[in-house]
């Protein structure tokens, strides 16, 4: 009996050791899963909404807002006087879209897609992996799944992602602002990056990083609202089927897309000015130097409404982009989790 008890004790101890050893492996698998799911979601959204990204960037740029516009001409005896407006209203989304097509061709609507695809997968992958990992740690020390956990997790993930991928987004912005006539060769991503390095050095790749950090507020608002809506979806699903979590059926899929769209709309409208400031900071030249200086300069020269230039294009692009990205991410995570 004593020998049997000893063998049983050793078997239990061995099982306990195996569980402890398996925990890091499971944690590593979870991180890789979130990296893969986030990358897939971000890539799908970027490809489908690239033309609107180009239009939005052009609208945010000072290249449209600082070009004088002739309003009328007054003829006086021996004198011709033109009245000029220093800050003309920016064109609408459709008008600018049509102008780009007519003057530059359809390929210009996909300018910057290369850096976007290079950057969006690692950016979203880093973001979702950081968010998932940080949230897991905060859940262990704070009230699990509380708003404080979601806020801190989103902030850490946003800062991490922005810091590591800012050079890619700077190159993308420069490419999208480069207007070329039809048939004229545009700069490649590598040529653009080399030009930035030669003219501005390594620091040039981090222009606009302060605005990206300010944009973390948008990410925080987005994820707090999204997590709350997702919890409501989960609760309603539990009330119908208590033994299941969200399953990848069409009802839940579109529910997650709706939650992502609503949360991103609210966040974008509140935090949008940082987008305009970031685009101005990434423009070539030294006119815009810092976050506060750019904010004051834009408001002084163009008025407060200039901080919302391109908002409509941003929403038209961002809502489906975020809905596609978040729903794809959740679907892949659930599908992989259920098969592992």
Write down all domains in the chain, each with its CATH number in brackets: 25-67+93-339 (1.50.40.10)
pLDDT band at 120 (very low <50, low <70, confident <90, very high): confident
* pLDDT score, position 3: 52
Closest CA to 112 of 158, 176, 51, 64: 176
Rounded mean pLDDT of 33-47?
72
pLDDT, mean over the chain: 76
Tell whether the model's pLDDT for residue 79 goes beyond 80: no
The whole model's pTM is what? 0.67
Rounded mean pLDDT of 127-131?
86
CB-CB neighbours of 296 under 10 Å = 11
Which residues, 6 or more positions from 151, have their beta carbon under 8 angstroms from its beta carbon?
Answer: 220, 223, 224
For residue 171, give both structure tokens: 């190159």
Give the percent of the chain with pLDDT over 70.
73
* pLDDT score, position 156: 92
pLDDT band at 293 (very low <50, low <70, confident <90, very high): very high
- Pair 37, 252: CB distance under 8 Å: no
DSSP code of residue 285: S
pLDDT band at 199 (very low <50, low <70, confident <90, very high): very high
* pLDDT score, position 90: 64
Per residue in 300-313, pLDDT (tens digit) is: 999 999 999 988 88
Tell whether the model's pLDDT for residue 203 goes beyond 80: yes
Tell whether the model's pLDDT for residue 86 goes beyond 50: no
* pLDDT score, position 31: 66
Which residues, 6 or more positions from 132, have their beta carbon under 8 angstroms from its beta carbon?
Answer: 30, 31, 34
- Pair 321, 37: CB distance under 8 Å: no
CA distance 242 to 189: 51
Per residue in 231-285, pLDDT (tens digit) is: 888 777 655 444 434 444 555 677 877 888 888 889 989 999 999 999 999 988 7
The helix/strand count (H/E) of the chain reads as 13, 2
CA distance 301 to 282: 19
Tell whether the model's pLDDT for residue 213 goes beyond 90: yes
Per residue in 319-335, pLDDT (tens digit) is: 777 777 777 777 777 77
Closest CA to 309 of 89, 115, 59, 109: 59
CA distance 231 to 153: 17
Query: Is the pLDDT higher at 151 or at 34?
Result: 151
């Amino acid at each position: 009996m004593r020998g049997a008890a000893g063998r049983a004790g050793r078997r239990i101890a061995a099982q306990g050791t195996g569980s402890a050893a398996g925990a890091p492996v499971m944690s590593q698998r979870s991180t890789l899963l979130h990296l893969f799911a986030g990358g897939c979601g971000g890539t799908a959204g970027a490809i489908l909404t690239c033309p609107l990204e180009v239009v939005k960037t052009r609208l945010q740029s000072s290249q449209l807002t600082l070009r004088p516009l002739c309003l009328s001409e007054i003829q006086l005896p021996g004198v011709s006087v033109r009245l000029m407006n220093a800050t003309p209203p920016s064109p609408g989304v459709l008008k600018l879209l049509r102008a780009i097509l007519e003057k530059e061709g359809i390929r210009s609507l996909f300018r910057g897609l290369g850096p976007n695809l290079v950057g969006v997968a690692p950016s979203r992958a880093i973001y979702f992996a950081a968010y998932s990992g940080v949230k897991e740690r905060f859940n262990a020390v704070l009230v699990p799944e509380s708003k404080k956990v979601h806020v801190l997790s989103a902030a850490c993930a946003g800062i991490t992602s922005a810091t590591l991928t800012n050079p890619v987004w700077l190159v993308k912005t420069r490419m999208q602002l480069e207007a070329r006539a039809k048939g004229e060769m545009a700069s490649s991503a590598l040529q653009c990056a080399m030009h930035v390095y030669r003219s501005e050095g390594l620091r040039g790749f981090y222009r606009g990083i302060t605005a990206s950090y300010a944009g973390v507020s948008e990410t925080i608002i987005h994820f707090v609202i999204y997590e709350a809506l997702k919890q409501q979806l989960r609760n309603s699903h539990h009330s119908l089927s208590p033994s299941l979590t969200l399953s990848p059926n069409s009802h839940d899929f579109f529910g997650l897309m709706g939650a992502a769209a609503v949360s991103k709309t609210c966040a974008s409208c509140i935090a949008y000015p940082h987008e305009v400031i970031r685009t101005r900071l990434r423009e070539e030249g030294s006119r815009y130097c810092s976050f506060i200086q750019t904010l004051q300069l834009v408001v002084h020269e163009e008025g407060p409404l200039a901080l919302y230039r391109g908002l409509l294009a941003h929403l038209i692009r961002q809502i489906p982009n975020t809905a596609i990205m978040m729903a794809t991410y959740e679907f892949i995570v659930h599908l992989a989790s259920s098969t592992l």
